Amino acid sequence: MNKAAAVTGALLLAAGLAVFGAKAFIYQVPLSPADVRGLWQVGLRITARGEGRHGSISTLLPSSVPGQTIFDERSTSGPLQFSIRVTDGARLGVWSGRFDGIHEVRYEFRVQSFGRRATLPERVVDKPPDEVTRAYGRSSPVYPMSAPQVEALCDELRLPSPPDVVGRVRTIFAFVTHEVASVRSAGDDAVLVLERREGSREGKERLLVTLLRAAGVPARNVRGLQLIEDAQPMERVWTEAWIGDGWVPMSAGSGFFGEQPASYIVLGTGDRPLVSGTEVRALAHRYHSAREHLRPEEIAAAMAPDNPALANLSLYTLPLSTQTSLRLLLVFPVGAFIVAILRNVVGVETFGTFLPVLIAFALRNFDIVTGLALVGTVLGVGVVGRLALERLRLLLVPRLAILLCLVIFTVTGFALVARTTEMRELLAGVLFPIVILTMLIERYSIALAEEGWRPATVRLGWSIAAVVVEYPVFRSVAVGHLMFSFPELVLCIMGLLVWIGGYTGYRLSDLLRFRLLARPEDATP
């Protein structure tokens, strides 16, 4: 290695390690992700269009209630004014101002959700507190508990006697769960749902509340999100009934009773919509969420180490969607580093320099066998298609474009198969690096024709081996966390890459290739 390369590498490595060391050991930014379940970050993005008039957008904001702790709330508002109002026990975030053109606002928070299990008393003697009965025991247009159909049903269900509140609630819950069909397109009016014996999720929960209130049990709807790993959160509505001395969660639509799963977080109670607006048009919103790997106090350390310069550089303060992208992006230097080792130190020949990295990245949501089988299918279809195209004698670019179409057809096929076989993970196939796979097919086909199937397939095998080596890197929560919390490690990787680039020693593959010359028996002094 020449001196300049050695020094440059060392400087980069030292710079990266210095920042890393300071953060890790002086400011105590945690090195490894904690195995803390129920930690998420959630973001909401609302867009709306206005025509120059004063208007507002409001959304339900979560609060720390039993079962969940909310922290690190952030909002962006552009030219609008953001304020938080508390009305009727609901916490509302309101953006108001003059709406002209398209506006986008964001609201993000982190939450630790523990889930909640309510104790169900055998018998209830105490009456619910007056304020609970007043607020959640009345008839209203949404919960028409005095409607004749509702009263008739309550008679028909032959509810247990009033002290057995749990029995009454169970009977009603069982009725709504089993006797009312869930139909996505059905209505949400409680009485209509009751009459037709079918309703939307929303309609069934409203009916549940209406029936509970009619049976003398204060009840309310809860709005929130069901958080799902690697997918968009689902907006959910469920029900709480006052039993004994507290609210008991249940859902006829999601099928839980007495225990609210930790994947559900509460945004608000009542029948207020999650997002609403006045004097705005084309109001749209979207929640997104990602698992968080740090404890609240650790995030505080990562976000704002006691050093303002480091705090400004912390990626934890970025908008959630950017954080999610950066988490993925920052793993790529590690992948590229491994490629450099494989090629320049081990001496592995692969198709395309970064192809294994991109394929491993695309496969991170699959188990490796399924993933490779899918890539293999794409490759197989492509190579057969390429052989067929060979006869047509097409020019290069149109031929490549046709291969690209074939690859996309195959991936589309995966999506259709996924729908019919319920193998939902096949859907992630659409994330395949289409262009890269197309080039792989072309190069493999040319290698097949020029070098014969053996060398071509050996090289393909090494490419797959490289994918298998890279795969755990992209799966690893620890690597993702480390690179995201300490992006300065990219400097270290650059330093190591400079050293690898300056490595003039033998590759491991040279041992095999030149073994004829290195035979010890005819070694001469």
Partner 1 sequence: MIFAGLRRAGVLGINRRNACYTLRWNPRRFYPLVDDKLATKRLCQQAGIPVPALLAVARHHFQIRNLLPALADRASFVLKPVHGAMGNGIIVIAGRERDRLVRVGGRTLRPEAFNYHAAGIISGLYSLGGQPDIAMVEERLETHPLFAELATQGVPDVRVIVYRGVPVMAMMRLPTKASDGRANLHQGALGVGVDLLTGRTRAAIWRGRPATRNPDSGRLVLDVAVPTFERILEIAVRAADRTHLGYVGADVVIDATRGPVILELNARPGLAIQLANRAGLRPRLDTVDATWQPDRPLEERVALGRDLARRHPPRAA
Q: Which is nearer to partner 1, 66 or 455 (CB)?
A: 455
User: How far apart (Å, rounded) are the C-alpha atoms in residues 227 and 254?
Assistant: 13
- Of 3, 185, 396, 422, the residue at the interface with partner 1 (CB under 8 A) is 396
Q: How far, rounded to the nearest angstrom, does the alpha carbon of residue 489 sit from its chain's CA centroid?
A: 25
In contact, 379 and 437? CB cutoff 8 Å:
yes
Q: Answer yes or no whether residue 391 interacts with partner 1 by CB under 8 A.
A: no
Q: Which is nearer to partner 1, 3 or 393 (CB)?
A: 393
One-letter amino acid at 200 equals S
Q: Which is nearer to partner 1, 215 or 404 (CB)?
A: 404
Q: Give which of 311, 328, 321, 302 is closest to 431, Cα–Cα.
A: 328
- Of 101, 393, 420, 421, the residue at the interface with partner 1 (CB under 8 A) is 393
Q: Which is nearer to partner 1, 167 or 347 (CB)?
A: 347
Q: Answer yes or no whether residue 347 interacts with partner 1 by CB under 8 A.
A: yes
Q: Answer yes or no whether residue 503 interacts with partner 1 by CB under 8 A.
A: yes
Q: Answer yes or no whether residue 161 interacts with partner 1 by CB under 8 A.
A: no
Q: Answer yes or no whether residue 354 interacts with partner 1 by CB under 8 A.
A: no
Q: Which is nearer to partner 1, 155 or 522 (CB)?
A: 522
Closest approach of Cβ 99 to partner 1, in Å?
51
DSSP 265-332: EEEEESS--SEEEES-EEEEEEEEEEE--S-HHHHHHHHS-SSHHHHHH-GGGS-HHHHHHHHHHTTH
User: How far apart (Å, rounded) are the C-alpha atoms in residues 494 and 144?
Assistant: 67
User: How far apart (Å, rounded) are the C-alpha atoms in residues 137 and 410?
Assistant: 56
Q: Answer yes or no whether residue 397 interacts with partner 1 by CB under 8 A.
A: yes
362: which residues sit within 8 A by CB, 6+ positions away?
A: 371, 431, 432, 433
Tell me, residue by residue from 447 to 476, as one string, x for binding to partner 1 by CB under 8 A and - for no binding: ---xxx--x---------------------
One-letter amino acid at 244 equals G
Q: Which is nearer to partner 1, 162 or 452 (CB)?
A: 452
Q: Which is nearer to partner 1, 256 or 354 (CB)?
A: 354
Q: Which is nearer to partner 1, 71 or 453 (CB)?
A: 453
Burial zone of 422 (CB within 10 Å; 0-12 exposed, 13-18 middle, 19+ buried): exposed
Task: Give the residue carrying structure tokens 């970025």.
Answer: 318
One-letter amino acid at 224 equals G
Closest approach of Cβ 316 to partner 1, in Å?
40
Q: Please identify, among the stretches 28-36, 72-80, 358-366, 512-520, the one whose residues bind partner 1 according to the rule CB under 8 A.
A: 512-520
Q: Answer yes or no whether residue 502 interacts with partner 1 by CB under 8 A.
A: yes
Q: Please identify, among the stretches 41-49, 117-125, 295-303, 507-515, the one whose residues bind partner 1 according to the rule CB under 8 A.
A: 507-515
Q: Answer yes or no whether residue 185 interacts with partner 1 by CB under 8 A.
A: no
Q: Give which of 137, 138, 224, 215 is closest to 176, Cα–Cα.
A: 215
Backbone angles phi, psi at 293, to 5 degrees: -110, 10
Q: Answer yes or no whether residue 510 interacts with partner 1 by CB under 8 A.
A: yes
In contact, 42 and 289? CB cutoff 8 Å:
yes
Binding site for partner 1 (CB under 8 A): 344, 347, 393, 395-397, 446, 450-452, 455, 502-507, 510-511, 513-514, 516-520, 522-524
